[in-house]
Amino acid sequence: MTLVTLRLIKIAAAVLIAPIAAIGIHMGVNQMIGNFHEVIPGELYRSGQPGDAQIDKAATRYGVKTIINLRNERRGDWYEEEKASAEENGVTLIDFPLSSGRFVPVEQSERLAEIMRTAEKPILIHCEHGANRTGLASAIYVGAVAKRSELFSELQLSPYYGHIPIRGIGRYAMYQSWDEFEETIGF
C-alpha cells in the first residue's frame, strides 16, 4: 500500500468513527445529567429517574403537575424519595410499570395513552435511564395524545435520548411496541 492509500484509509475511518463517537459521548453525558428533556413545552417532559432536586426543579421551573413512573423494578429508596418529593411539590405520582425488555401490547399502550391524555399537565415521564420505556411513552404521547407527526414521535425512540432501535442491541422491544401501536392508530 502506498502512503497516499494509507492516509485515505485513515481519513475514511475517522469520518466513519467520528459520528459514532459523538453519539456515544452525547448519550453518556445525557445519562450523567439525568437525561432530562422538554418534549412539548408546557405539556410533556422526560427524564431518567428523578431525584429530589430534579422533581423540585420540574415542579417549580416547568410547572409539572403529574409524574408517570414507568419503572417496574422493585421499589426501594429511589421510589420513597420520588414519592415524598412529589407529595412535597403537590405533584401527582402515577405508576405504570413496564419492562424495558418485553414487548408492550397495543392494549397496554392504549391505556397509557389514555392516562396521559387525562392526566393534569405538564407531565414528566420517566424510567430508570430515560431512554427506552420513556422513549416509548413519549412517542405514544406525541403521536396519540398530541397528534404530532410520525417523525417527531419516532425521534422519541432515538440515540439522541439513549435508545438504540437496532434488533439485538439495547431494548428493541420498545421500538417494536411503538411500531405495532403506530400501525394500529395510523398516521
Region 109-121: what's the mean pLDDT? 98
Model's pTM, two decimal places? 0.83
Mean pLDDT of all residues belonging to the chain: 87
Model confidence pLDDT, tens digit, residues 141-168: 999 999 999 999 999 999 888 878 788 7
CB-count burial class (<10 Å; 0-12, 13-18, 19+) for 83 = middle
Q: State the Cα–Cα distance between residues 65 and 22, nearest whole angstrom.
A: 35
Give the pLDDT score at 52.
93
Model confidence pLDDT, tens digit, residues 57-80: 999 999 999 999 999 999 999 999
Q: Which of 157, 160, 171 is nearest to 19 (CA)?
A: 160
Tell me the residue ranges of DSSP E strands in the chain: 37-40, 44-47, 66-69, 92-95, 123-126
Give the pLDDT score at 155.
94
